[in-house]
A and B are shown apart, each in its own frame.
Chain A
């Protein structure tokens, strides 16, 4: 079963507009959420994160929102730029040891920002 879901495989946005990427999770034990960005032929790179004690975290053009009651988070990119075109992975982790001590990734959303 997929504990972290990204239901939109792809998203196309015009340059300068807002990009909104969504992610849903099922495990209420998750307490930390991250977004990774991946360009072709490269490994994923960390973009932004949020702890479950917060509902918003902002870093420049990137903002992540967390709605714990809905088990939903979203990544907003404003304004979108062509260089933002990449696959975005949502990931979650839970405090504790053993099998829970790992990142669980979503399936990714391919963002295409059109000039």
Chain B
């Protein structure tokens, strides 16, 4: 079954404690990205990766890091989380969006930073 799997689904952490949200896809997609969803703001892209070892900033990259060492995995790293990073996060994968490819999303990670 084609899917994007992200973990954990829920996470409560304290300010400044480094955390990683994992993301894995089984569709051999080149393009992966991370979004955050906030009330009234929709889905905003944090970082994206066009292929292995190729990553770039999205619209709201501050406070986040990513890596793409393998095609299937694209972890999101918060080195020093702050309360304004409390949000719902989605990992996504597709063939390059400019070609109109369908994007598949993970089930989401609800992060609370206290």
A residues at B contact (CB < 8 Å): 6, 9, 31-32, 34, 36, 41-46, 49, 51, 89, 91, 93-103, 105-108
Please tell me the number of chain B residues within 8 Å of chain A, measured between CB atoms: 28
CB within 8 Å: A-B pair count: 71
Contact in complex: B97, A93 (CB < 8 Å)? yes
Q: Tell me whether A43 and B108 are in contact in the complex, defined as CB-CB below 8 angstroms, given that A107-B40, A107-B41 are known contacts.
A: yes
A-B contact pairs, 29 of them (CB 8 A): A32-B97, A34-B102, A36-B105, A42-B107, A42-B108, A43-B4, A43-B90, A43-B105, A44-B90, A44-B105, A45-B105, A46-B104, A51-B100, A89-B43, A91-B43, A93-B97, A94-B98, A95-B99, A96-B98, A97-B98, A101-B48, A101-B98, A102-B48, A102-B58, A103-B45, A103-B103, A105-B35, A105-B42, A108-B43
> Which residues of B approach A to under 8 Å, CB–CB?
4, 31, 33, 35, 40-45, 48, 50, 56, 58, 90, 92, 96-100, 102-108
A106 contact set on B, CB distance < 8 A: 42
The 10 nearest A-B residue pairs measured at CB: A43-B105, A107-B42, A32-B100, A105-B43, A93-B97, A95-B98, A105-B42, A46-B102, A101-B98, A44-B105
Closest to B110 in A: A41
Q: Are B56 and A99 in contact (CB under 8 A)?
A: yes
Known: A42-B108, A43-B4, A43-B105. A98 touches B43 (CB 8 A): no
Please give the distance in Å from B50's CB to the nearest CB on chain A: 7
Question: Is the Cβ of A43 less than 8 Å from the Cβ of B106?
Answer: yes
Chain B proximity of A16: nearest CB distance (Å): 29
Q: In the docked arrangement, what's the CA distance between A101 and B105, Å?
A: 17
A14-B92 Cα distance, complex, nearest whole Å: 33
| Cβ–Cβ < 8 Å partners of A103 in chain B | 45, 97, 103
Name the residue of chain A whose CB is nearest to the CB of B99: A95
